Structure 1
Amino acid sequence: MDLSEFKGKATYEQIKAYVVEQTGLKVSSLYIAQIKKKCGLDVGENFNLQKSENARQPQCTPEKEDAIIQAFRHFGII
């Protein structure tokens, strides 16, 4: 089985599982999307739009950001 076609592709669930396994930290899909945007990677369209314009959105902590970037490197995304 040739896995080279999957290089650079990982689901959010795979990234979450890798981060928990490696660091013990739980990360949300929101945090993964924030880091993808920060790295300049393509993020899919959000269908769950905010109801108000000034809604507060939680920001990813630096330790979780490092863990997500480590997962991106593991999966060959960056």
Structure 2
Amino acid sequence: MKVEFGDGEEKVPLGKIAERAKQYQPTPRVTYKMIQEYIEEKYGFKVHMAYIAEVKRNLGLPMYDAPNMVEELKQPRRHPTAEKVEAIKDALKHFRVI
């Protein structure tokens, strides 16, 4: 069987092939830095990476192993305010993580 590409009868249009290829491209990986920049730009305050990790953990999202993770913290961990939690959730929705 011979397949021909282009416009016309019994030919496979190239435009549709390009559209289907775009559908199968992997989505770019969202970094904590991207989330921080989005929140700072939209809300005008900064959030710590630990806050982002805590929100992700509470939502049950997949987490990657941190090679530099410590067994015991030197200081007790502070928790994000409700305002920061909502901003982080908004950023995760914006980047289609949730």
Give TM class, smaller chain. 0.7 to 0.9
TM-score by length of 2: 0.67
Which of 35, 44, 57 is the matching residue for 2:64?
44
Aligned residues: 75
Unpaired segments ≥5 residues, structure 1: none
Higher relative contact order structure (alpha carbons within 8 Å, sequence separation ≥ 6): 1
User: AA paired with 2:27?
Assistant: F
Write the deviation string for residues 51-73 of structure 1: whole angstroms up to 9, x where unpaired. Answer: 46x84111011000000000000
State how far apart, in whole Å, the 2-side matches of 1:44 and 1:64 are: 22
| Greater radius of gyration (CA) | 2
- Identity across matched positions, percent: 31
What residue in structure 2 maps to residue 24 of structure 1?
A: 44
In structure 1, the residue matched to 2:91 is 71
What is the alpha-carbon root mean square deviation over aligned residues?
A: 2.2
TM-score, structure 1 normalization? 0.82
